Amino acid sequence: MDKKTKSQIFDLPGLRNRTHVFLDRKAAGKVLASMLGSYRESDAIVLAIPAGGLAVAVGTAKELNLALDVAIISKITLPWNTEAGFGAVAFDGTVMLNEELLPHLHLTSEEIQQGISKTEEKVYRRIKKLRGDRPMPDLHRPIILVDDGLASGFTLRTAIEALRKAGSRKVILAIPTAHEESLPAVAERVHAVYCPNIRRGPVFAVADAYEHWRDLDEEEVARLLEEFRKMTSKTV
């Protein structure tokens, strides 16, 4: 990382290169809130990337008494591995493909387009379920973009690109854990990164930062979002 990139990244030295440092996503969200104290009760908005990012963001937004909403992004997965992706689709229709990775995957044009179309359907379904007819919030205010971790960083890069297109001027990335090698390419696109657990090494899994880890389905995400809206006076 160059000096400029280093100055944008804030971590917790005691958590570097450690695994299982958070009990769960909610606990990780509270740790992030402790690092983001300067934004408490400000005009910033917490934007979560569902599914896992919403469980983190709820804890962060509650602790900081900030408004919470969702920025729906989904990776375009491989036909033979739904855990790995070659691009991502954002809430505004932005599509980004990993041009460096694609030549090594030997996908046909048809397979690429099928992946894009399938992911667009998923994004639009989630928008309808989680946002309904509500318009996107004012994205000119400071945005704290939250996910449950950063592995390759490509999905987050797509999210940031979509937010920039929508007029966002100040995006603060808040993620509990990240792969050190992938972080600089994302950090250079945002105002600052808050990441308590940065890890290096050839093998990295977001789940390894948590003692309790499981996938969240859309029903649970919708319930968490609705519960937050009922419990807080902060609206978007």
Give whole-number Cα distances, 138 to 134, 161, 181, in Å: 12, 16, 33
Mean pLDDT in the chain?
Answer: 90
In this prediction, residue 233 has a pLDDT band, given cuts at 50, 70 and 90, of: low
- pLDDT of 101 reads 86
Highest mean pLDDT: which range of 78-82, 173-177, 214-218: 173-177
Is 47:143 a contact under the CB 8 Å cutoff? yes
Residues in Cβ contact with 98 at an 8 Å cutoff, skipping those fewer than 6 apart: 85, 86, 87, 152, 154
Any residues with CB less than 8 A from the CB of 166 and at least 6 apart, and which? 92, 136, 139
User: pLDDT value at position 234?
Assistant: 54
235 pLDDT more than 70 = no
- Amino acid identity of 94? T
Instruction: Please check the confidence at residue 105 and state whether its pLDDT lies above 90.
Output: no
Statement: residue 4 has pLDDT above 50: no
At residue 29, does pLDDT exceed 70?
yes
Residue 6 pLDDT more than 60?
A: no
> Rounded to whole angstroms, how far apart are CA atoms 125 and 218?
10
Q: What are the respective helix, strand and coil percentages of the chain, to the nearest 5?
A: 40, 20, 40
Q: Which of 34-43, 95-104, 156-165 is the least confident region?
A: 95-104
Question: Could you give the domains of the chain?
Answer: 3-72+137-231 (3.40.50.2020)
Asked if 84 contacts 115 with a C-beta cutoff of 8 angstroms, the reply is no
pTM: 0.90
